[in-house]
Structure 1
Amino acid sequence: MKAIETKDLGKTYRARVKAEGLAASFRALVRPQWISVDAVRGISLNVEQGEMLAFIGPNGAGKSTFIKMLCGILYPTAGELSVLGLSPARERRKLAMRIGTVFGQKSQLWLHLPAVDSFTLLAAIYEIDNAECRRRVAELTELFGLGEFLHTPVRKLSLGQRIRCEVAASLLHEPELLFLDEPTIGLDVVVKQAIRELIARRNREHGTTVFLTSHDPADIEQLCRRAVVIDHGGIVLDASVERLKSDYLGKKLIDVRFGTPQRIPALPGVTVSSESGGQKATLTVDTAVRPIGDVMERLSMTGNVLDITINNPPMEDIIAAIFQKEAVR
């Protein structure tokens, strides 16, 4: 049995046509006009159990609609769908007991209660007895390092602390499949890395299937083995992350700050994207041409480097490159 199976899955919304002008607006109240909008168009996708899949695309591509159908929140209008051998639309309650969800901008915790109380309430919802609840909370508290703020109201936690509690809450009932929608959004570099390591460890030790959407290329690089890119409701690319790295994630951005004005040396594979008075610069590095370590060494040799930061290009740029390359093919 596969974790997720879809065949020609589609979702069409009925949208009201926006009227322009006072007279048209009045007529629209009496005789509204409607159009059909295809949010998801014939997606066929298989995800193996224990797989870590990145599901990416620009805003409005249909990612959220697709995930909501997988979770049983929305009913598909076309195609076939199976999640953990269940029909999400018809067996939503059974499915909810076997999946976990983390939405970076929406909380499943009660903001005015300590996280430990939210865990207790969730345990009751998932029909976990008290003894087992205490065992799992203790295990997750140690794994996620929640001890210092477990009894603090969620509204008083930092974003990083809250996200750690969110991920822990999603794992309380030991789900077989975990949906992660922007789990590291708004977090600093250290907390992001900690969250990634925890997710990877859960997959490694428990075989939890992970379905990830993210605008952070580092999430995809470090967590997933396969990436699916969609646009306008359809699949544009389905490839291994290794291929994604070699074909589309081969560029890095370096922000460097000098104590005194410096001239950036000309290097093959390195483009100066922006420069500010010789003391600050952003460089785009093609790692297939010039290793990132070599560039760092050459920059250090210029003298008086105060700070160097390495970043990935924005996900929007990566997706645009994918669309451009696939269109040529």
Structure 2
Amino acid sequence: MGQLLQDAVNGLQPADGALDRLRTAVPARRARKRRLVVGAVAAVVLTGTAVPALLHVAGSSDTTSTNTANAGHDQPTGGEGEPSGASGGPGGAELRRPDADKGRDPETGSRPGGPSADTSYSDPGAGDPKATGGTGEAPAGSSPACEPTQLGVTSAAAEAPDADGKVYGAFRVANVSRSECAVTGDGTIAFKVSGAADESKISVVDHTGGDAAPGLPAPAKERTPLLLKPDSAYEVRFAWVPDGSCPPGGPSPGPSTTEGTTTGGTGNPAGPPPTGTEPQLEGSDPAPAEGSVSVTHTADPGAPTAEATIPNACSGTIYRTGVLGG
């Protein structure tokens, strides 16, 4: 039998170039087999991944609840009579923190070691006027400047002198109209003198920190321009710091003396002085002259004008503040 097989193939010879074809065909066939195996493995992996995902999606669509909630919220995003996405900012739009996407994977949207759900928040001030300082106030520049007819003086007074002789006072000006207006300037402080007060020895200066009038408010509290609503008021305060007392007035009435009478002849006194006469003291100090200073304030529009009088004032300095909110 073996001999027959050998005799059958004994005359067969390989064709020309058969060996070269085998050298290239065998590696090519092996590469095709590897590709087929890799493709089959990939198909198996893909099938094993896709099937659970499809089952999860199908289960989620079948069990959708009308009370689902967004991550980071405690309120439902949908429900009976409420459209989905109703929670969040105004108009149902949900606001996101600027760093909400920081550290997320660009493809999956998940954070390392955490869930892939978005973290969002609602604006705490949306729809709440208190959260945005809802006082209705606007910058003073948005209102017209106050007219003289809109302002009225509600008080003008000077207090009693303190231990150092300093006198503090204030002018209070109110909006007497029915519309708001803006106080754009500090107004004018001036003075009038009477009696022994010396106008050349009186000056008006702005109050600054560390000056001779520590009882006045700090300059940082001054506000210009200032929005003045109806029935609201502002103040301008001042301090009188004397640099001495009023000068002395005229001399006091001189003393009266009673001399003894003589009867003539010898020049000797006729007798003891009449009874009821006593010697008077001479050289008494003169009384200080009377003087006063009247401090005036004129509001920035040119009116109204208020006045406060300081008695027993002849020379010194008037320290003034700017506009202080009342």
TM range (shorter): under 0.3
TM-score after normalising by structure 2: 0.14
TM-score after normalising by structure 1: 0.14
